[in-house]
Amino acid sequence: MPPNYECFTVYRNEQQKLLQWIQTQKISGVLFLSGDLHLTELLKVTPKGFYPLYDFTSSALTSGLNTSGKEAANPALVPGTLVDDMHNFGLLRFAGPRTERRVTLECYDKDGKKRWQHEITAKELRPSEVKKK
Note down pLDDT in tens along the chain; length 133 residues: 444 555 666 788 998 999 999 999 999 999 999 888 888 999 999 988 999 999 999 988 888 888 888 888 889 999 999 999 999 999 999 999 988 999 999 999 999 999 999 999 999 999 976 655 5
SS3 (DSSP) at 67: coil
Where along the chain do its domains lie? 8-132
Q: Which residues contact 109 (CB under 8 A, 6 or more apart)?
A: 83, 86, 87, 88, 115
Task: Quote the pLDDT of residue 11.
Answer: 82
